[in-house]
Structure 1
Amino acid sequence: MMDGDLTAEILPTSKNQGAGGRSGLILVVIVTSCIISLLALVLSAVSLSNKGTTNINVPGKVSNSGSDDSSSDKIWTFAIGHDGTNLEYIDEISGTLRGFHVDLVNAVCEIANKNCVLMWDLYTNCWESNAGGLPRGGKGLMNSWYDACTGWFGTYERSRTFQFTDAFRKGFNGIFYVKSSNPNSFDPTNISGKKIGFLDGDATDEHCVARNSDRITGANILPKNIRHYVTPMQLSQAVISGEVDAGFTNSNILSAFTGLDKIGDEYSNCFYKGGAMMMRKDSSLASWWNPAFARLQETTKYKDICDKVAEVHGDRPGGDVSVICL
């Protein structure tokens, strides 16, 4: 029997179609409709039994899954400042950023095979605070101007807003600075009623001083006696001019300036983690940065980078390798 004959038998032509033929056609349509309905019910049941996947879109990102970050051609951007020390400074001859942080970023990105770019910006665009108020994330990192900020200490205040990679250098303790020879006899163990200057957004802020009330009388400084400055130069000038009785910041950042003396004990509880990459909580940066840095430490390259602190960047003030490298 030919295929054409079979079709004619199931669906009679109008020439041969009688009442019985019409009944057969109606029956076929009804059966087909039932099958389609049954399949729809089965597919619906299967669909309902599966859990859905929700992608939360973040400004500037594809999703929180980090799928866009895994692209091999993604350019990772890191904010970096220039405190003038051997950590990060601008080379006046070439006009480029140099220092320990620059060398380390280049090495980690090379090991991870990532495209990385350093972007100079103000520190306050990474982290800022108002004098006497609660510190907060800077608009640059909050708004994803870059993927991370370079060399920031992990603090309890910062961890409420951001996350950190593994530390790649030691943290600097906090200490008071006064004008050379301390002409006003500032007592770092009793700062009641004294005006104290801080770097805006610094880990060694007024909240760190307050945590040391067992060692410092007047540690809970009144807002009217707190002064914030944007740059280390501004803070150093405020101390020298007598605008503030003393400055409080880390033991390294004002080493580039003359006319100042450190005074009193150092305080190590301003942070819980040393210098690291500070990033948004939705970032996947740590997933490749941490393994790459761990591999760097296993080679001689990390030691070479540390040696360059003195051999290449030694004309700059700052801590030596013993207080910088892990």
Structure 2
Amino acid sequence: MNYRPDFILFAQHGWADTNEEIRKLATKLANDKTLIISPNLGCLKTWLSMEPLIEKVTEQAEEISQKYPQTPWRIMGHSMGGLIWLEILHQNPQWWGKIHSLVLIGSPVGGADLARIIDPLSIGVGVAADLGKNRRLQADRITKIVPTLVIAGNSDNGSDGTIPISSTKLTYSYFVCLPNISHSQLKNHPTLVDVIEKFWETSPTPALFEKDFPTVLIERLQLIPGMTDAHSRDFEKAKAYLNFERGISIKLWKNPLNVLHVFVSSEQEQCLYAGFVGWIHSDGLYQGLEAIHQDYYELVIHGLD
């Protein structure tokens, strides 16, 4: 009798890593009828470019699709591994219908701030340009169709020590933030097993989302060229730039290097979003803020200094 798995579980490791830890996580999640596919891309190769890594994983996915055309897929990726799969699915929409679920673990979908600092002009300093890319628009197209769970860690009240929580969030996804768990621990932390299993057990469907006004503001800011999601640690240093009804405000702060940081604040003075732009995009940020001002002028009370 030919072997036919119930599920294909793709488990992809990320940058500066091998598949050892993510495969352990996949093994804990799998049953006897799960076929695990966990390509080892080579730790050194993950420092160079994502393109050959995407090609390698795509080749394996094509082979599996041909061998088991009716078997549903479960996909999970840690950090850059999640970005690799977003690129693959963006390039292969014919696979979306066979995907049971997508789990992104500590993946900087909005762009990794560390990568943007290393390669602010996206000129191609190793893999930094790939990691700093904002993939939210293509992710939204995918996650409207493919049930998606986003898992973030929070080890320092704003990030997992490497990836800001805000850069992992997507509009059309379920979101879980795990306290006191670092980026490296997210590869194979025992808590993940329970979180992912509960998500799978729900027979997940794409997340429905009704946008509130702060979400609209955040999305507008994220579309400004050069905007990179950031840690909220400097929120209290920022001053109000635009104030809206219901106590919502946009605040600005320049660090000692004159890098502009922008924050969305709630009525309770809680940080709802943090981002920054490099020097070359500062004018664009002010232009974007002026456009927001004009679009919502009936709500705006001037807070310019």
TM-score by length of 1: 0.29
Q: Larger relative CO (CA 8 A, sep 6+): 1 or 2?
A: 1
TM-score by length of 2: 0.30
Higher radius of gyration, 1 or 2: 1
